[in-house]
Amino acid sequence: MLRVIYACITEQHDLRLVVLAGLLCLFACFTAINLFVHAAEAKGRARTLWHAAASVVFGAGVWATHFVAELAYKPGVPVGYDVDLTVLSIAIAMAVTWIGIAVALRYKANEVGGAIVGGAVGCMHYVGMAALRVPADLHWNFAYVGTSVAIGVCFGAGALRVLASGVTLRYRLTATTLLVLAIVGLHFTAMAAVVLELNPYVGIPDQVMAPELLAIAVAAVTVLIAALGLSSAFVDDQLARRAISEAELLAQRVDERTAELHKTQEALLRQERQSALGQLTASMAHELRNPLSAIANTLHTVKEAVAKGGLDLERPITRMERSIARCDRIINDLLDYSRMRELRRRTWNVDPWLEEALDDLKVPDGIGVVHRLGAPGRQASFDSDLMRRAISNLVENAAHAVENAHGKSRRIVVSTRTVESELEFSITDTGPGISSDVLPRVFEPLFSTKGFGAGLGLPMVRQIVEQHDGRVEIASTPGTGTTVTIRLPLTVSAPKAAAA
């Protein structure tokens, strides 16, 4: 059988047109496979359109391959083609292919659907052969006919079975190869099944299609297949771009949600710590203030008794009073940090407000405070008492820093400016600066590098600023100094009653 098929191809066909038929078959099959994959992945009306496109491309591709091969067939006698049967053959190819794809898509029976698609190749071929008009009698070898149909059915079933396992390029190419084998194997086996016996008494009707017209029809169908193939490639590209864009957008949203979750988690942990600190502080304040009050009252009595006795104990008594005041302030700081009250906002002219707040602060002798106020007429909404507390803490920290600046200018620079829609308060000192290993921890509650205090100054500043929807940043260079910057939202339009 193989020898007969080989002889049919090499001796009775124009090999150039055979190669052309093979290339056309390959392109049509690969395009149809891609369209089938799109139909399998789509829903609703989109699936219907992809299904129809796959049926048209495969049916037309089989038809064009068949008739290019028919044009390559050289029986040695004049050949014509019945118009009605030629048109019927392409319609049958598309219709039966549509049924096969429908079975595969609707019932998930890829092997059965593929077998029907292979059957479509056989139906189209033998109807196309029935359209052949030659002055000869056709004698069929039905063993070859059966074999040809079996080739189409088996390889067609195998092609769609492969796509049930995967739709990557490797699977698509394998399915394409099996479909090509179904078409080519069926065609040339079927051509070997027929023997033409010249019979000059067999006439060729007048209503037949000449090979030249058939070539034009095949060319038109080929253009249709190419157009649908290019359209499929364009859609593939657009879908790939959309998938990439959606993946990037999804990744961005995941990152945003992850950041929000981390932020929420940090806020919850901070609230839990603050709640625990609040309970501990309230209990500690109650337990410590009673003995501190008793010590202060006793110290007052001792001071009066010492004055009456003429003893000079003013310095140690004053030191004791300062220590009691410091303890009382630590307790107040802990209570304020753990139980921040609701904001009482007003809109203020920033520079006059800050000027007044700085005038009320007491700075140790020998430390200069420079005002560089660069936000004239600009307004912001904040709680004056809390913001004074924040500025006071920062200036006090700066004063402690410059007290340790030996051999340097002991100076604090307080400045304001506006950057876009934000107001900046900056406090810069000429102290020794903060080392890089300590800097990340300065906003941690109860952390302090000083030998006194509770380590709540900067944490309280950050808490106050964040309550005002702002942020606080710190930059420091060891040996040069430190700058703390508060950024608050500017007020777009301020009420007339708002004044410093």
Domain identity same for 143 and 291: no
Task: Look at residue 141 and tell me if it is in a domain.
Answer: yes
Domain identity same for 147 and 280: no
Long-range contacts of the stretch 220-228 (C-beta < 8 A, 24+): 221/60, 221/63, 221/64, 221/90, 222/24, 222/64, 224/56, 224/60, 225/24, 225/27, 225/28, 225/31, 225/57, 225/60, 225/61, 225/64, 226/27, 228/31, 228/35, 228/53, 228/56, 228/57
Cα-based distances in Å from 407 to 404, 432, 479: 9, 11, 11
**Of the candidates 295, 285, 321, 341, which has an alpha carbon nearest to the alpha carbon of residue 454?**
285
> 18-27, 422-431, 479-488: which range is least confident on average?
18-27
- Residues contacting 492, CB < 8 A, separation 6+: none
Domain identity same for 297 and 403: no
pLDDT in tens, 368-400: 889 999 888 899 999 998 899 889 889 988 888
Domain identity same for 307 and 392: no
pLDDT in tens, 303-346: 778 777 777 777 887 888 878 877 877 777 776 666 666 788 89
pLDDT in tens, 85-123: 888 998 999 999 999 999 999 999 999 999 999 999 999
Per-residue pLDDT, averaged over 266-276, amounts to: 73
Task: Look at residue 226 and tell me if it is in a domain.
Answer: no
Domain identity same for 205 and 322: no
Domain's final residue, options 159, 176, 209:
209
Task: Look at residue 54 and tell me if it is in a domain.
Answer: yes
Per-residue pLDDT, averaged over 419-429, amounts to: 89
Q: Give the CATH number, domain containing residue 380.
A: 3.30.565.10
Residue 173 has what pLDDT?
93
Range of the domain at 373: 345-489
Q: How many structural domains is the chain composed of? A: 3
- Report the b/e string of 212-227 with b at 16+ CB within 10 A: eebeebbeebbeebee
Domain identity same for 279 and 366: no
Residue 497 has what pLDDT?
37
Strand (E) or helix (H) holding 119: helix 110-130
Domain identity same for 311 and 369: no
Domain identity same for 302 and 379: no
> 80-94, 197-211, 306-320, 396-410: which range is least confident on average?
197-211
Task: Look at residue 164 and tell me if it is in a domain.
Answer: yes
Domain identity same for 166 and 308: no
Residue 493 has what pLDDT?
44
Mean pLDDT of the chain: 81
Task: Look at residue 35 and tell me if it is in a domain.
Answer: yes
Domain's final residue, options 283, 312, 338:
338
Domain identity same for 8 and 151: yes
**Of the candidates 3, 122, 18, 145, which has an alpha carbon nearest to the alpha carbon of residue 70?**
18
Task: Look at residue 237 and tell me if it is in a domain.
Answer: no
- Residues contacting 112, CB < 8 A, separation 6+: 103, 104, 157
Domain's final residue, options 209, 229, 247:
209
- Report the b/e string of 150-169 with b at 16+ CB within 10 A: ebbbbbbbbbbbbbbeebee
Task: Look at residue 227 and tell me if it is in a domain.
Answer: no
Angle at 29 between CA 26 and CA 33, to 5 degrees: 140
Domain identity same for 63 and 198: yes
Task: Look at residue 114 and tell me if it is in a domain.
Answer: yes
Per-residue pLDDT for 194 more than 90? no
What's the token pair of residue 65? 């391959």
pLDDT in tens, 115-170: 999 999 999 999 988 888 878 888 889 999 999 999 999 999 999 999 999 989 89
Domain identity same for 133 and 202: yes
Strand partners, 416: 373, 425
